[in-house]
Amino acid sequence: MDIIFYHPSFNSDYWINTLHKAMPHAHVRAWTAGDNAPADYALVWHPPVEMLKGRKLKGVFALGAGVDAILGQLSANPGMLADDIPLFRLEDTGMGSQMQEYAVSQVLHWFRRFDDYQVLKQQSRWQQLEEYAHGDFTVGILGAGVLGSKVAESLLPWGFPVRCWSRSRKSLPGIQSFAGPEELGDFLQGTRVLINLLPNTSETVGLINQSLLNQLAEHSYVMNLARGVHVVEADLLAALESGKVKGAMLDVFSREPLPADNPLWAHPRVAMTPHIAAFTRPNEAIEFISHTIGKLERGETVSGRVDRVRGY
């Protein structure tokens, strides 16, 4: 079995050596320009078109959770990957716990009013503020898939009402499930903290706009852990200015790195991280990939296959 590997920044040697340990019978090589030798599987992240174009492959693994970038490449380069070649993505592989860390820490930061106390500190003011009530701090998660469901579960022990919105109904203990466009309004009503963990698709791009933000509870919070294009930044800034949104925590942006002149940099109630919410963990990813390839080779059903039409 031959596997080709391409990632613009990952340590190829580590990945190739670890893949060989997980799959001793496979031959794994780093793909380089001009390599047209046969391969059975390709492991890629932002691959050059020529790496895949015209290849007969048993499968392609995107080395991340979101597949918007590679689907955009396939759309822009017809023939880059034959329709009958399955595309897979990474499900969790260490990203779930990282998302839990990020979301729980930020929700607690807002719930305990540490943002307000920081403002008082800068004014040298010693003042105890009225506590928030858990019942007034409903957390609503856009997306209840692999990562969204784990984030939802991790918030329950802290006493917050938690709800999620997805395409299909979910059955997650203790978590209220809203499904489809027809239930988005009900999901938003009363949501105080909005966490975005949707995939970037034609249906979700620009979803977090003025209309959506206006439906949130007063003095709400927005946490974007998915893709920058989900948020209409001008609408978020307007909602922050009006006070409808009290604070935002943004890990992803419509352009990355965020241009220096973007007003989000200077906004006092916007906190930011540079797309670090959750990284692919090599060992977990390689375990997922090797198990999936093994199942594929045995003709067994696997998870993680991308629906290219649906977009995730």
Ligand X SMILES: NC(=O)C1=CN([C@@H]2O[C@H](COP(=O)(O)OP(=O)(O)OC[C@H]3O[C@@H](n4cnc5c(N)ncnc54)[C@H](OP(=O)(O)O)[C@@H]3O)[C@@H](O)[C@H]2O)C=CC1
Residues near ligand 3PY (CB under 6 A): 64-66, 275, 280
Q: Which of 27, 275, 281, 308 is catalytic?
A: 275
- Least distance between ligand 3PY and beta carbon 67 (Å): 8
Of the candidates 96, 81, 79, 98, the residue with the CA atom closest to the CA atom of residue 44? 81
CB neighbour list of residue 297: distance below 8 Å, 6 or more residues apart: 1
CB neighbour list of residue 45: distance below 8 Å, 6 or more residues apart: 6, 7, 8, 10, 62, 63, 64, 70
- Least distance between ligand 3PY and beta carbon 5 (Å): 17
**Binding-site partner at residue 102 among ligand X, ligand 3PY, none, CB < 5 to 8 Å by type:** none
- Least distance between ligand 3PY and beta carbon 93 (Å): 9
Q: Which helix (H) or strand (E) holds 120?
A: helix 114-122
Q: What mask of x and - would describe binding to ligand X in positions 208 to 247, judged by CB under 6 A?
A: -----------------xxx--------------------
Neighbours of 120 (CB within 10 A): 14
**Binding-site partner at residue 201 among ligand X, ligand 3PY, none, CB < 5 to 8 Å by type:** ligand X
- Least distance between ligand X and beta carbon 226 (Å): 4
How far is 121 from 232, CA to CA, in rounded Å? 32
Site for ligand X in 62-101 (CB under 6 A): 65-66, 95
Residue 144 sits in the site that holds ligand X (CB under 6 A)? yes
Three-class SS of residue 226?
coil
How far is 145 from 66, CA to CA, in rounded Å? 12
Of the candidates 48, 140, 45, the residue with the CA atom closest to the CA atom of residue 93? 45
- Closer Cβ to ligand 3PY, 176 or 201, answer by number: 201
**Binding-site partner at residue 145 among ligand 3PY, ligand X, none, CB < 5 to 8 Å by type:** ligand X
Q: Name residue, tokens 């919105």.
A: 165
Backbone φ and ψ of 69, nearest 5°: -65, -50
Residue 112 annotated in active site: no
CB neighbour list of residue 304: distance below 8 Å, 6 or more residues apart: 88, 89, 90, 91, 288, 292
**Binding-site partner at residue 166 among ligand X, ligand 3PY, none, CB < 5 to 8 Å by type:** ligand X
Residue 191 sits in the site that holds ligand X (CB under 6 A)? no
Residue 109 sits in the site that holds ligand X (CB under 6 A)? no
How far is 69 from 57, CA to CA, in rounded Å? 20
Residue 163 annotated in active site: no
- Going by the DSSP 8-state scheme, the letter that residue 80 receives in this structure is S
> Active-site residues: which are they?
227, 275
- Per CB under 6 A, residues contacting ligand X are 65-66, 95, 143-148, 166-168, 197-201, 203-204, 225-227, 251-252, 275, 277-278, 312
